[in-house]
Amino acid sequence: MEAKTGTGVVGALEQIARAAKRKLTSNGGPLPAPYSITVNLHRYLAARCDVKLYDWREKGILSLKPEDVLIGHPHPDPETLVQQTLRSGAKCRWKALLFPIHHALPTFNEYALPLLDRADVVLGIMGPYWYDTLDTSFLAPWKKKIVRLDLAVSAAEFPLVKKQFNAPGKRGYLYIGNNRPEKGIEALSATLGRLEQYPRGWVGGGPDIPHATRIAGYRELTREFIAGLAERYDIFLNTSFSDANPATILEAMAWGFPVACTPESGYYNMPSIVPLSTTDIEANVAALEELQQAPEGRLCELSKANRALVETQYTWEKFCGRVWSQLERFV
């Protein structure tokens, strides 16, 4: 069926996403999250039912009908649609919240807490670590209504570019992401400070990160740009302290970089991902030195396994299908 758009800003989020895709794919760059979530989920649902799409920044209260289904990403502004509609007690067939969940920094999600009791289900975009530790978090009272969603990427938009590795002793470490509190930059900087004899690069926004050379700020991650990085850098790092499941890790896996990251990045207990710590810098250095000296065949094995996961497990078909499995009986 043809999808309908919302009123007010009239589907502005998808319009923004399309504009972003035009901008970022003008030189071959892929559509980034969160726009990729909006576009892929909207397309999937619109092929199966009538959909009205609203910008999460729109304000007011939705006029829900008894047969309607609401899936909403809450905005911190209490005047916005999802917050206002849920707080109003408006009735419909089914109400779902959909947003990234992590709980080591409670202030990130505290605005959404009053809404959880008003939703029938919470579709939490998060890695297994955050779901497995819900019982000891401030979100424990709502665990029974939380359904975990793995983030996804389109493997075709993030082609395999890392096909060979520099010699031991010459391998570089790469971080792509912003410099924000949840990203665990202190641990990243301290770790890289112990690896100064190797190339250490960073692509992202925010204040400078000590011991990491900024290659570029926010920019299009074109195939050509990533291929250039792949010539100098060999291992992708993430030391997040409280991060649902960063898309950059999946993107790095798709490009073919071996990944080393903290459990608090969401991804853990995965044989093809090397675990790091937010506090044990000695352990981080040891793990990264081991990758530095590993036979190339070992790095190729990690690269191949990670690429296979992106192609088979972290797909939009699985992401959207899991959402659909929760709501199809209501539409």
Tell me the per-residue pLDDT of 209-219, one tens digit each, with 9 for 90 and over.
Answer: 999 999 999 88
Classify residue 134 by its DSSP letter: G
pLDDT at 331: 79
Q: Give 166-175 pLDDT, tens digit per residue.
A: 999 999 999 9
Is the pLDDT at 318 greater than 80, yes or no?
Answer: yes
**In this structure, are residues 5 and 14 in contact, taking their beta carbons and an 8 Å threshold?**
yes
Closest CA to 280 of 292, 268, 263: 263
Is the pLDDT at 275 greater than 90, yes or no?
Answer: yes
pLDDT at 29: 64
CA 89 to chain centre: 31
Overall pTM surpassing 0.95 (yes/no): no
| Mean pLDDT along residues 317-326 | 97
Quick one: CA dihedral 182, 152, 296, 221, positive or negative? negative
- In the chain, what are the domain boundaries? 4-152+315-330, 156-312
The Cα 115–Cα 86 span in angstroms is 7
| Mean pLDDT along residues 115-141 | 97
Residues 6+ apart with CB under 8 A from 156: none
CATH fold for the domain made of 156-312: Rossmann fold (3.40.50)
**In this structure, are residues 287 and 277 in contact, taking their beta carbons and an 8 Å threshold?**
no
Burial letters 68-105, b for 16+ CB under 10 A, else e: bbbbbbbbeeeebbbbbbbeeebebbbbbbbbbbbbbe
Strands (E), 132-211: 146-149, 173-176, 200-203
The Cα 46–Cα 145 span in angstroms is 25
Q: What is the mean pLDDT of the chain?
A: 91
